[in-house]
Structure 1
Amino acid sequence: MAVMWSRLTCIGLLSRGQRNLSIFSNPSPSYWNKVVSDAEKIVGYPTSFMSLRCLLSDELSNVAMHVRKLVGTKHPLLNTARGFVYESRNNLQMRGLVVLLMSKAAGPSPAASEQLLPDMVSGIYPSQRNLAEITELIHTAFLVHRGIVNLKEWTNSDGPLKDMQFGNKMAVLSGDFLLANACTGLAQLNNTKVVELISSAIGDLVQGIYHENSNSTEESNLTVASWEDQTFLSHGALLAKSCQAAMELAKHDKEAQTLAFQYGKHLALGHKVNSDLQPFVKRGTDPVPFSLDSAPVVFHRQIVGPERWLQQLQQVKTITRQMDHTKLWEAIKSEKGVSQAVDLCCYHGNKALEAIKRFPPSEARSALENIACAVTKF
């Protein structure tokens, strides 16, 4: 499964030609950091480096030694590695933390055996902690694989071609290693329902990547509804299904599993919309490049219609046929696409709150409520 996912991911990314990798986009960093810090205290230990055991293994230590060869180039793998080391407190390596908080908020179920209760640490079963680590490993592998460079777009300013080729190999191998460890840990949980859930989440990630590839062109007819479906696959399925799996491990009923799934789904979607909005809502900054399949652009394209959208694209093209993001940014800001994206972000944040409020009051539930509120702040 690990090899198949890696190959499909690599093929999809190389066809897309995505060279910039941004995995640390946060709403209001100072507020977000406080929410995360408070939440980590509740579950018993910091989870920013939850996959540290795997990251410091002999195999990946050897990879890290080789990655040093990429210093001085623009290969995304270097930025990914740097982000894990220096910016762990500022990223959304939050999936494991959310899984742990959800586990503690739900607590033991009436159907759970009393013999298992002494195994709980800070109100969380060992199997749920293992699941949280597995979730982080899958997400990390996904990020590493997304750092593959389309060599057809390589330029001399990126660095020597041989180094870029080497970086791609390292991205594939290290991502495969992380995913293989995640699959091994998944099997050791000895729960077929959980294996099915997380395996389907990996499949969703692959499908989401292909959707992104097919809808990343200027002529894309991506609607808001299809954007949400696509975003769920590539950004929400893993968190949603991991939250549901945590309930399954504690033998909670279908209602609790559904609520946990809904919280993870809407939290992930709300965070993605928030991330897409950052180039349009940051104060005191100049326009920055943004994706043409981001939420505000999709709303804008739907508002103005396909013909006017193509006209706007032609108007912002420079003599060299390059996109003038400043002019396009101004055109999008002049319409209601940004405000509608803000409304969508708030909608998903509120839906996440609705789901988590169905759980009993506790510190863990309050922390999950704070996280849901944080994704709606700009």
Structure 2
Amino acid sequence: MAWRSRLSYIGWRHLSIFSNPSPSNWTKVVSDAEKIVGYPTSFMSLRCLLSDELSNVAMHVRKLVGTKHPLLNTARGFVYDSRNNLQMRGLIVLLMSKAAGPCPSTSDPIHDSMVSGIYPSQRNLAEITELIHTAFLVHRGIVNLKEWTNSDGPLKDMQFGNKMAVLSGDFLLANACTGLAQLNDTKVVELISSAIGDVVQGIYHESSTSAEEGSLTVASWEDQTFLSHGALLAKSCQAAMKLARHGNESQNLAFQYGKHLALGHKLNSDLHTFVKSGSEPAVFSLDSAPVVFHRQIVGPERWRHQLKQVQNMARQIDYTKLRGLIKTERGVSQALDLCSYHGNKALEAMKCFPPSEARSALENMACAVTKF
């Protein structure tokens, strides 16, 4: 299989994935990168977020305070996200735009509109990317009411929260689509539209497999993760090159960087529970990368036996015990190898861009996703 050849490629192991844990490493990388593009990307969407329409929605969302609806946690993350994950995509689009620089044609009149090495259309694209990502984050906060019980809280609160999640997400997505049309580039519209479709497809697959966790293979995990987590970033980076009228080679390199960085970032997130030090309770998905690798190593029969071992009388899984079983096999180390592979592939994609602060920031991000 393709993933086996990746893991056996020792040349990709030069990044140290066993460096000392540094919780602030990613935060520092993002903070330094924001200084290069001119302002924190968390404020890129203020024009939309401070509009009268969304302010009206926000007033209704306040009614959810005191309930357990996940929309509140999503909204809180817009104000403070300790891992700086929410605004990552727009920042990367801006850095990619700055790293690539102006298009080769010096006679092109659009050069005059560049500010700090970035075209206005590229800044608009970064904002659009953030709006799309935020819209899907809000939509992911919709609660499955079929699984809701009286002990979880009043049903009417969840119903109201779901309505607000749908309304807010749709509003953000509509604004993103309007901004996308205003870029006046049919190729870019096609790229980002296909990315939206990819995210929808990826989320659908996640929902369909979560009902029967344990059905993913390593290959299908990568495919699904690219759709739900990587397609938007990869195609936005490619679109940024298209807006600056760069050639197909630059567009492909930008796409590859976004793809591999997103996959590496997701692997880093999945691995965090398995490699971090401390005695915190284990919480992870049975379709996270280390579990998928472990399940493929031990086989379906032994995997079912291990699940029974860690279940109590109420058939609830003790994730701390399950984590211990998973760490006895090579699933975690193989997931670490794959994380290193994607980080290095992202670094490789940047080699063809001229040396600059923006390129260095993108390289630092690629290195950061391989550190824990």
* TM-score (norm: length of structure 1): 0.90
Cα RMSD (Å) of the superposition? 1.4
Structure-2 residue corresponding to 1:208: 202
Is 1:105–2:99 an aligned residue pair? yes
Q: Is the 8 A contact 2:90 2:129 kept in 1?
A: yes
Task: Please give the alpha-carbon distance, in whole angstroms, between the structure 2 residues aligned to 1:49 and 1:309.
Answer: 46
Residue 346 of structure 2 aligns with an amino acid whose one-letter code is A
Task: Please give the alpha-carbon distance, in whole angstroms, between the structure 1 residues aligned to 2:116 and 2:170.
Answer: 32
Change (3 A) 1:113 1:46: farther
Is 1:240–2:221 an aligned residue pair? no
Q: Of 51, 63, 67, which aligns to 2:61?
A: 67
Identity of aligned residues (%): 85
Q: Of 278, 301, 309, which aligns to 2:303?
A: 309
DSSP-derived class of the 1:190 partner: coil
Residue 352 of structure 1 aligns with an amino acid whose one-letter code is A
Task: Please give the alpha-carbon distance, in whole angstroms, between the structure 1 residues aligned to 2:175 and 2:86.
Answer: 21
Task: Please give the alpha-carbon distance, in whole angstroms, between the structure 2 residues aligned to 1:159 and 1:51.
Answer: 33
**Offset at 1:185?**
0.2
Structure-2 residue corresponding to 1:177: 171
Is 1:258–2:240 an aligned residue pair? no
Q: Is the 8 A contact 2:213 2:287 kept in 1?
A: no
**Offset at 1:150?**
0.6
Is 1:51–2:45 an aligned residue pair? yes
Task: Please give the alpha-carbon distance, in whole angstroms, between the structure 2 residues aligned to 1:251 and 1:244.
Answer: 11
Equivalence map 1:146-157=2 (5 Å): 146-157=140-151
Q: Of 27, 32, 35, which aligns to 1:33?
A: 27
Task: Please give the alpha-carbon distance, in whole angstroms, between the structure 2 residues aligned to 1:353 and 1:92.
Answer: 22
Runs of 4+ in 1 over 6 A off after TM superposition: none
Q: How many residues align?
A: 352
Q: Of 294, 300, 312, which aligns to 1:300?
A: 294
Task: Please give the alpha-carbon distance, in whole angstroms, between the structure 1 residues aligned to 2:89 and 2:181.
Answer: 20
Task: Please give the alpha-carbon distance, in whole angstroms, between the structure 1 residues aligned to 2:106 and 2:122.
Answer: 14
Q: Of 360, 363, 377, which aligns to 2:357?
A: 363
Change (3 A) 1:241 1:168: same
**Offset at 1:28?**
4.0
Q: Is the 8 A contact 1:112 1:250 kept in 2?
A: no
**Offset at 1:29?**
3.6
Is 1:223–2:214 an aligned residue pair? no
Structure-1 residue corresponding to 2:335: 341
Structure-2 residue corresponding to 1:19: none
Write out per-residue CA displacement over residues 149-183 of structure 1, whole angstroms, 9 at most, x where no aligned residue: 01112133432111110000000000000000000
Q: 5+ unaligned residues in a row in structure 2: which ranges?
A: 1-20
Residue 229 of structure 2 aligns with an amino acid whose one-letter code is H
Q: Is the 8 A contact 1:332 1:338 kept in 2?
A: yes
Structure-1 residue corresponding to 2:370: 376
**Offset at 1:247?**
0.3
Q: Is the 8 A contact 1:211 1:230 kept in 2?
A: yes
Q: Is the 8 A contact 1:49 1:88 kept in 2?
A: no
Q: Of 265, 268, 274, which aligns to 2:262?
A: 268
**Offset at 1:113?**
4.6
Structure-1 residue corresponding to 2:84: 90
**Offset at 1:90?**
2.8
Task: Please give the alpha-carbon distance, in whole angstroms, between the structure 2 residues aligned to 1:124 and 1:183.
Answer: 21
**Offset at 1:88?**
7.0
Task: Please give the alpha-carbon distance, in whole angstroms, between the structure 2 residues aligned to 1:29 and 1:145.
Answer: 28
Which segment is superposed worse, 89-98 or 192-201? 89-98
Residue 269 of structure 2 aligns with an amino acid whose one-letter code is S
Change (3 A) 1:113 1:163: farther
Is 1:127–2:90 an aligned residue pair? no
Residue 175 of structure 1 aligns with an amino acid whose one-letter code is G
* TM-score (norm: length of structure 2): 0.92
DSSP-derived class of the 2:210 partner: coil
Structure-2 residue corresponding to 1:325: 319
Structure-2 residue corresponding to 1:197: 191
Which segment is superposed worse, 81-90 or 138-147? 81-90
Q: Is the 8 A contact 2:307 2:322 kept in 1?
A: yes
Task: Please give the alpha-carbon distance, in whole angstroms, between the structure 2 residues aligned to 1:51 and 1:240.
Answer: 20
Write out per-residue CA displacement over residues 98-146 of structure 1, whole angstroms, 9 at most, x where no aligned residue: 0000001001111365321121000000000000000000000000000
**Offset at 1:218?**
4.8
Residue 305 of structure 2 aligns with an amino acid whose one-letter code is Q
Task: Please give the alpha-carbon distance, in whole angstroms, between the structure 1 residues aligned to 2:289 and 2:330.
Answer: 12
Structure-2 residue corresponding to 1:277: 271
Residue 294 of structure 1 aligns with an amino acid whose one-letter code is S
**Offset at 1:216?**
2.2
Task: Please give the alpha-carbon distance, in whole angstroms, between the structure 1 residues aligned to 2:297 and 2:210.
Answer: 18
Task: Please give the alpha-carbon distance, in whole angstroms, between the structure 1 residues aligned to 2:22 and 2:257.
Answer: 21
DSSP-derived class of the 2:36 partner: helix
Write out per-residue CA displacement over residues 238-272 of structure 1, whole angstroms, 9 at most, x where no aligned residue: 00000000000000000000000000000000000
